[in-house]
Chain A
Amino acid sequence: MFIAMKPHATQAEFEAVVDKIRALGLTPHPITGTERKVVAVIGPTTGLDPDDLFGTMTGVAEALRVSQPFKLVSREVKEEDTVIDVGGVPLGGKAIAIMAGPCSVESRDQILEAAHAVKKAGATFLRGGAFKPRTSPYEFQGLREEGLKLLAEAREQTGLRVVTEVKDTETLPMVADYADVLQIGARNMQNYSLLEKVGAIDKPILLKRGLSATIREWLMAAEYIVSKGNFKVALCERGIRTFETMTRNTLDINAVPVLKSLTHLPVVVDPSHGIGLRPHVPAIARAAIAAGADGLIIEVHPHPEKALSDGHQSLTPAEFEELMKQARVIAGAIGRPILAR
């Protein structure tokens, strides 16, 4: 259920609504839009008539039931696009955000070289994993805190915002200390204990789609985070598991326009994992922007052939620069700028 206040409703009228929700044993979630204030009501609302309870209160424009199982992330509850403020850099909104960097932080030289290169080409966010959820336990698992320190150093040198994955609740405080955006990887999309924890901190979250998660399950995972109080969530489509074997995953670009209509959260696309083949990353990155994505996250490595992970899908800095040119042209064609610093 959600209650939309009239544009000029007073603070007292708004608080009366919040008090009444609490009196019913339910939880109010105030959401401030540019046009009007909305209060989402979370809890057992079955059997309650929204209009009966709130429709006649002064200052209330309308009280409605949310038809979707996801509530706080739905466009029904908040019409305007959410723009996440990442230390002064917007994620979401009209300008397209570009995140780029290596799969894993491997060394000081590697991450600094990658950071300067992607910044020069126009990225505003640096990606890089310090804790890596690798399929095989025998493969490179990341530099852990040493990797986080190197990411922080790259941020200091370049001003790029750092996006890095947090794998578990144990390391969450440490990763949150260094990161600007916490990435929840595809394999953790339904790790509800982790989702609840990141819902209780004040950090932007990049929630990747699970490999076999439907769009609805994915939005419910985002709802887990938002319902705990952290509204700074962006979604990232990174390809799903299908029968096709020629590509690493099947990038579900359908998800972009569908999500943009269902949710106010920003939608980012990962073409690197989505196709998994270096020569084809630019084509599918162009397609994502044309479909309406709010950002791209791309793997770039100074020497892909020597990468400790994902070398086959990482672009060289020169290839990334070329991709950025193409991305700007497509973004321009649909009337959107690429976010610049």
Chain B
Amino acid sequence: MLVVMKPHATRVEIDAVVEKVRSMGLAAHPIPGAQRVAIGVTGNKVGLDPGQFETMPGVADAIRVSQPFKLVSREVKEEDTVLDVGGVPLGGGEIAIMAGPCSVESKEQILEVAHAVKAAGARFLRGGAFKPRTSPYEFQGLAEEGLRLLALAREETGLKVVTEVMDVETLPMVSDYADVLQIGARNMQNYSLLKQLGSVRKPILLKRGPSATLKEWLMAAEYIVSRGNYQVALCERGIRTFETMTRNTLDLNAVPVLKALTHLPVMVDPSHGIGLRAHVAAMARAGIAAGADGIIVEVHPRPDQALSDGQQSLTPVEFEDLMKQVRVIAGAVGRRV
């Protein structure tokens, strides 16, 4: 249920609704909007009677939310959510550009990439320190050393750091260094991890599971938001289909559908989405044209020597060219980079 307050409802009136919800043994989630406050109610097993809220002072309306995802839905919050990543917006009119290597490999490598992607116009640096590799024999990341190098790159460039957290055990450590915590596709339904993320005060980039439906994905986001962390962005990165010529099938249908269903920012990862360096730029353009709020792109100074994902990583020069193309498409859909 969603209790919508009148535009000029007082603090006391809002608190009274929250109190009433809590007294019923349910959770209250006040959501400030541009015009008015709404209070999401979760935890009820059966439908609530709107009448018990509608008569309270300051309440404009009490409505049942028809979707199984509640707090992330546009029914509950009409305006786009804009995450504040230490002063840099994620969501809203500006297209967010995240770029960097798949893995942090060395000090030289991450600093070189960071300076290059910054010069080309990125505001976020991606790079993995904890890597969920398919094979246990492959490079697993530099762990805390990688996080320190990302922090160093942030100091030198001012870029915000996006890096993956793989488990509950390393969450406090990764949170200490990261500006945005990425939940990888394989962990999208790791509910223990999602619950923990709900109580950290860090923006989350939640990637889509390789075989997750849009509904399952939004429910995963709801896990985080329902625990109190509203700073969540979604990232489409391709799904598993029968096609083998591309690494994944980038589901750009997801972009307009999500934008209609949820107020959370929607990012696109064209690098994993197609997996072929030559075609990343085309899919990045398509992502922006479909209405994505940003892209996350793999860039490596020497992709042929990369310890992971070299076949889909752009060189800094290719990334610079991609940024030019992205600016043109963003302009064409009335957005800026």
Contacts and interface: CB of A to CB of B under 8 A. Distances in A.
A246 B214 contact: yes
Nearest to B285: A290
A212 B241 CA distance: 9
B331 interface: yes
A256 B214 CA distance: 23
A215 interface: yes
Interface stretch (B9-17, B106-114, B251-259): B251-259
Question: Which of B290, B328, B333 has the most chain A CB within a 10 Å cutoff?
Answer: B290
A99 B278 CA distance: 29
B256 A252 contact: no
A289 interface: yes
Contact of A283 (B241, B246, B255, B328): B255
A284 B260 contact: no
Contact of B253 (A255, A280, A290, A291): A280
B213 A261 contact: no
A329 B251 CA distance: 23
Interface stretch (A11-19, A22-30, A330-338): A330-338
9 contacts: A246-B214, A255-B243, A257-B278, A257-B279, A257-B283, A274-B253, A283-B289, A289-B289, A291-B286
A277 interface: yes
Interface in B262-289: 273-274, 276, 278-279, 282-283, 285-289
A129 to B, nearest CB: 23
A214 B242 contact: yes
Interface in A276-335: 277, 279-280, 283-284, 286-292, 326, 329-330, 332-334
Interface residues of B, number: 42
Contacts of A245: 213
Contacts, number: 131
A247 B257 contact: yes
B245 interface: yes
A292 to B, nearest CB: 5
A333 B213 CA distance: 32
A5 interface: no
A217 to B, nearest CB: 10
Given A240-B243, A246-B215, A333-B331, A253 B250 contact: yes
Contacts of A253: 250, 252, 283, 286
B290 A283 contact: yes
Contacts of A333: 328-329, 331-332
Given A244-B251, A334-B285, A283 B244 contact: no
B237 to A, nearest CB: 12
A214 B287 CA distance: 22
B163 interface: no
A247 B253 contact: yes
B213 A292 contact: no
User: At the interface, is chain B mostly helix, strand, loop or mixed?
Assistant: helix
A243 interface: yes
A254 B332 contact: no
A212 B244 CA distance: 12
B250 A334 contact: no
A280 B289 CA distance: 12
Contact of A257 (B242, B252, B274): B274
B249 A240 contact: yes
A216 interface: yes
Interface residues of A, number: 42
Interface in A56-79: none
A250 interface: yes
Contact of A334 (B252, B257, B328): B328
Contacts of A257: 274, 278-279, 282-283
A258 interface: yes
B325 to A, nearest CB: 8
B241 A240 contact: yes
Contacts of A216: 245
Interface in A209-249: 212, 214-216, 239-240, 242-247
A166 interface: no
Interface in A142-191: none
Given A244-B213, A244-B251, A246-B215, A288 B260 contact: no
A261 B332 CA distance: 25
Contact of B278 (A240, A261, A326): A261
B119 to A, nearest CB: 23
B252 A251 contact: yes
A288 B283 CA distance: 9
B257 A246 contact: yes
Contacts of B246: 254, 258
3 shortest interchain CB distances as A-B pairs: A290-B289, A283-B256, A257-B282
Question: Which of B276, B286, B331 has the most chain A CB within a 10 Å cutoff?
Answer: B286
Contact of B290 (A240, A243, A254, A286): A286
Nearest to A280: B256
A287 B245 contact: no
A250 to B, nearest CB: 5
Given A215-B243, A258-B246, A280 B329 contact: no
B274 A254 contact: yes
Given A277-B257, A279-B260, A330-B329, A250 B241 contact: yes
